[in-house]
Amino acid sequence: MSSSLPQILLVDDTVANLQLVSDFLMKAGFNVLAVKSGIQALKIVAITEPDLILLDVVMPEMDGFEVCRRLKAQEETQDIPVIFMTAVADRANPSYKIKGLKLGAVDYISKPIQLEEVLLRVQTHLQLRALTQQLTEQNACLQQEIRVRHQTQQILQETERRWRSLLENVQLLVVGLDWQGDVEYMNPFGLGLTGYTSAEVFGKNWFNTFIPSSEQPQLKQTFHELLYHNSHAYYQNSILTKSGEERLIAWNNTVLRDITGAIAGIMSIGEDITQRQAVERMKNEFISLVSHELRTPLTSMRGSLGLLKMGVYDNQPDKAKRMLDIAVTDCDRLGRLVNDILSLERLDSGQVTLVKEVCDVADLIKHSVEAIDAIAEAAGIAIQVTPLSAQVYVAPDTIIQTLTNLLSNAIKFSESNTTITVGVQHQSDCILFHVTDQGRGIPTEHLERIFGRFQQVDVSDSRQKGGTGLGLAICRSIIQQHGGGIWAESTLGSGSTFYFTLPVYKESVQ
């Protein structure tokens, strides 16, 4: 096609996905061809070569794996980057990933699709392809110039300068290895990522210096096959930095030859995908956790109501009432879970506008304690308040919600006949709140993690204590949006103290 826009071929048998992704990419400045089957995709590629293909795995008639195999079998289409799109269940299956990468795919995107993720990956792989093509073209150009000897030394120097400028300024890891695997070049970005100086790197064996010992045999074999069979142009592996940290790198490799055509080594362009993989893992874990937490009360409700529907307890009214109580309890838990998820998403996405006003700290604590006092009394727990009159500029309902959440947690994890202390301290630049209990305490390794979504010290707590695992995440989001901080300190067997700060009120903040 004559369009100067990058052309993306989108292949998915789900019309909704086609429309959603196609509209988003077109708005982002891409020319998108959207088809619903692998057969249609192959027909399109035979007519016009797209810059990149987004390919669904599971499709009728011809799945994405077969489409990719046919594309990579043809010289005209084998270099087109293919990104598979697959469901979470498929993405979690290692055999799918291995099969796709062996067929020549450059990446995977999990469903449900995050449009921003799709855009970032498309842009990254288009950049990688463009850089690879530039390097290949420049390498061929240099060899041609040497062979024909018609170019002047000045032109050669200028070409070298441009080549170096490209490699040394690109925000990707660029490594040149000779045919033995010794480092001949590493760009400044790569040196910064690994923590080495150029003197420490050049001439060192890549595998012995940068590759974890457990991966060295496989990667040496991959390197050999890349050199002599031109396979494994795209792959991922971990590298070790000077400090011993592991970073996951996605590589795009090009074999280099000298003026006689003999293999000289490889030039590899790598993207650090450590953070992206961590985000993807967190996304998958979040989806799994949400699915599990929603499914658990639904399963219990279905079981209880199913027994009632079948008439199992028609002649046992006490047991029938117990089944209804279970269903109502789980329905309430499900409602709390959904409300907490929605509240957290609105807070984190900035959809909640905090309507702030000048409030007295003592009043905020008073309202919070009154809201929870009946529960504390029923549990045989006393709440002791250390009064302090100070003013803060806050959204009062959200601060009361934070205090109530912390008090509720303290009650849940405290024994009868113990005391919970609520106090406030006036510091130089903030007001420090604390809620202290005499409960079981929290292991040190969990103190930071408990403020994440669905994070609890004991996985059985959500069922035994009635929590959703989102309360502290909501507290953290509220306090951060007020410009404060929140943290916990604890001694196992002696209790825990949760702290949060709010900025000192000044009239100018209004």
Which residues on neighbouring strands pair with residue 247, listed in sequence order?
239
What's the CATH number of domain 7-113, 3.50.50.60, 3.40.50.2020, 3.90.1150.10, 3.40.50.2300?
3.40.50.2300
pLDDT at residue 493 tops 60? yes
395, 355 Cβ separation under 8 angstroms? yes
How far is the C-alpha of 341 from the C-alpha of 335, rounded, in Å?
Answer: 10
State the fold for domain 150-272.
Beta-Lactamase (3.30.450)
- 462 band by pLDDT with thresholds 50, 70 and 90: very low
> How many CB atoms neighbour CB 81 within 10 A?
23
**pLDDT-based confidence at residue 437 (cuts at 50, 70, 90):** very high
C-alpha distance from residue 55 to each of 44, 63, 66, 289 (Å) = 13, 9, 11, 28
Q: Looking at the predicted structure, is the pLDDT value of residue 1 above 60?
A: no
Least confident span in 5-14, 176-185, 452-461 = 452-461
Q: Report pLDDT for 508.
A: 44
Residue entry with tokens 């494994």: 232
- At 203-237, the pLDDT tens digits run 999 999 999 999 999 999 999 998 888 777 788 89
The pLDDT assigned to 147 comes to 73
Q: Cα–Cα distance between 240 and 244 in angstroms, integer?
A: 5
At residue 126, what are phi and psi to the nearest 5 degrees?
A: -65, -40
CB neighbours of residue 275 within 10 Å: 10
What is the share, in percent, of the chain residues with pLDDT greater than 70? 84
Residue 302: which pLDDT band, with cuts at 50, 70 and 90? confident
| Gap between the Cα atoms of 138 and 130, Å rounded | 12
pLDDT over threshold 80, residue 326: no
pLDDT at 349: 57
Which residues neighbour 89 within 8 Å (Cβ) at sequence distance 6 or greater? none
Helix (H) or strand (E) holding 408: helix 396-412
pLDDT at 466: 47
Superfamily of domain 353-509, CATH level 4: Histidine kinase-like ATPase, C-terminal domain (3.30.565.10)
- State the pTM of this model: 0.40
Determine the length of the chain: 510
State residue 459's pLDDT score. Answer: 43
Give the Cα separation of 442 and 444 in Å (integer): 6
Q: Which CATH class is domain 279-347?
A: mainly alpha
> What is the average per-residue pLDDT within 242-265?
91
Mean pLDDT over each residue of the chain, to the nearest integer = 83
Structure-model confidence comparison of residues 470 and 487, the more confident one = 487
Tell whether the model's pLDDT for residue 90 goes beyond 80. no
| DSSP line for 28-51 | TT-EEEEESSHHHHHHHHHHS--S
Strand pairing partners for 33?
9
**Cis bond leading into 112, ω under 30°?**
yes
Tokens of 321: 């009432």
Which pLDDT tens digit goes with each residue over 172-194?
999 999 999 999 999 999 999 99
Least confident of 30-44, 359-373, 375-389, 461-475: 461-475
Is the pLDDT at 292 greater than 60? The verdict is: no
What does the block give as tokens for 470? 């989102």
- Segment 488-500 shows an average pLDDT of 90
Closest CA to 329 of 305, 364, 365: 305
Domain ranges of the chain: 7-113, 150-272, 279-347, 353-509
